[in-house]
């Protein structure tokens, strides 16, 4: 594989010295970019785009042509795994993702297969290989997957939910069945991420979008335990380097110490947790990623720059910080405001690394 010319992200996660804080954005390849919307139109559907390795590669690279980013992230969707299980994923404009065949009884749950990523999901490692080739060592490539709990919310509810009543009823009334569902999903995600790593992903991230809806006890039992299972099964070295793992639980700031004990390398934070407080709590056990409120990108560029300065000051001096938003960039953001954010990180952060 081609040697990395910019390894700032990997060095920061490892706690090694860097010249500036690395920055990338969750959903950085997406609808806020007109060039993305043009490719999406050409593809005919989100699914048609995500399942076409050449198009997925094209949109993955688009933000790097605009902005001075320190990483690329694979363009895909967390729901590819349950779709490969036969649940029938659909994206309806204005409504979001849903499944034609949600799993709501014991037979459906017991019959769920562990996904073979080289069969039903072959288009994803194919896209990863193509992106790595086209990056040519420019920046690292991040692969990702959804957490078992988050995937299960969609698999059982059938789509988005306000109260997760079906899945919560399952964990309260039939915990053994819920554990089976989560175990099969965790093993599928492990195989899926390992396929991405084998294809060339140089870091991976697990998105636990809905872990924050659980009680502390249930979070550790039904979400964190299965992310731990994934981490234990990952191939952690490739191309002669460690492949770092980032865990991100939205609204999970109260569990940072437990998350840091999983063996992950980095914790993603949303904007509801103070970055300096988080650093004081976990010390140098893990790196921290985040955590500007994505809505800040609607503010004036001058205000965005002030916020970047505040967050850098909160983290303080030294390595171990990957600057990011606290969640994904939204479709209505002006790309020039994203540029102001990224440029501010690179301009202001070197003072914290000298």
Tell the CATH topology of 8-352. TIM Barrel (3.20.20)
Residue 40 a catalytic site member: yes
Looking at 7, 70, 77, 83, which residue is catalytic?
Answer: 77
Looking at 32, 36, 154, 226, which residue is catalytic?
Answer: 154
Residue 27 a catalytic site member: yes
Residue 220 a catalytic site member: no
Residue 154 a catalytic site member: yes
pLDDT in tens, 58-89: 999 999 999 999 999 999 999 999 999 999 99
298 annotated as ligand-binding: no
This prediction's pTM: 0.97
Please report, to the nearest 10 degrees, the dihedral formed by the alpha carbons of residues 221, 184, 95, 72 taken in order.
Answer: 90
Whether residue 1 is predicted with pLDDT greater than 60 in this model: the reply is no
Residue 5 a catalytic site member: no
71 annotated as ligand-binding: no
29 annotated as ligand-binding: yes
Rounded to an integer, what distance in angstroms lies between the CA atom of residue 182 and that of residue 218?
13
pLDDT in tens, 266-322: 999 999 999 999 999 999 999 999 999 999 999 999 999 999 999 999 999 999 999
196 annotated as ligand-binding: no
Rounded to an integer, what distance in angstroms lies between the CA atom of residue 4 and that of residue 146?
27
β-sheet bridge partners, residue 198: none
272 annotated as ligand-binding: no
- In Å, how far from its chain's centre is CA 214? 20
């Amino acid at each position: 594989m081609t040697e990395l010319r910019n390894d700032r992200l990997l060095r920061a996660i490892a706690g090694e010295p860097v010249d500036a804080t690395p920055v990338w954005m969750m959903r950085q390849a997406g609808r806020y970019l007109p060039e993305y919307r043009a490719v999406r139109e050409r593809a005919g559907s989100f699914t048609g785009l995500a399942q076409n390795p050449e198009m997925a590669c094209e949109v993955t690279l688009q933000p790097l042509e605009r902005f001075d980013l320190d990483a690329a992230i694979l363009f895909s969707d967390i729901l590819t795994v349950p779709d490969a299980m036969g649940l029938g994923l659909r994206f309806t404009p204005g409504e979001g993702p849903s499944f034609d065949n949600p799993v709501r009884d014991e037979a459906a749950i017991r019959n769920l297969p562990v996904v073979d990523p080289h069969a039903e999901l072959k288009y994803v490692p194919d896209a990863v290989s193509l992106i790595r080739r086209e990056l040519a060592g420019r920046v690292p490539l991040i692969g990702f997957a959804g957490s078992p709990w988050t995937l299960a919310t969609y698999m059982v509810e059938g789509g988005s939910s306000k109260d997760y009543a079906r899945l919560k009823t399952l964990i309260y009334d039939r915990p053994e069945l819920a554990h089976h569902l989560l175990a099969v999903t965790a093993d599928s995600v492990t195989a899926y991420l390992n396929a991405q790593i084998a294809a060339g992903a140089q870091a991976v991230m697990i998105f636990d979008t809905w872990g924050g809806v659980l009680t502390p006890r249930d979070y550790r039992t039904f979400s964190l335990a299965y992310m731990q299972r994934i981490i234990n099964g990952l191939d952690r070295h490739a191309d002669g380097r460690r492949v770092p793992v980032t865990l991100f639980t939205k609204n999970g700031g109260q569990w940072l110490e437990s998350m840091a004990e999983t063996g992950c390398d980095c914790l993603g934070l949303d904007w509801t947790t103070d970055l300096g407080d988080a650093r004081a709590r976990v010390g140098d056990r893990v790196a921290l990623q985040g955590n500007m409120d994505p809505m800040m990108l609607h503010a004036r560029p001058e205000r965005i720059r002030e916020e970047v300065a505040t967050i850098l000051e909160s983290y303080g001096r030294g390595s171990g910080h990957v600057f990011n938003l606290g969640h994904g960039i939204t479709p209505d953001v002006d790309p020039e405001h994203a540029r102001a954010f990224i440029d501010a990180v690179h301009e202001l952060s070197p003072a914290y690394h000298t």
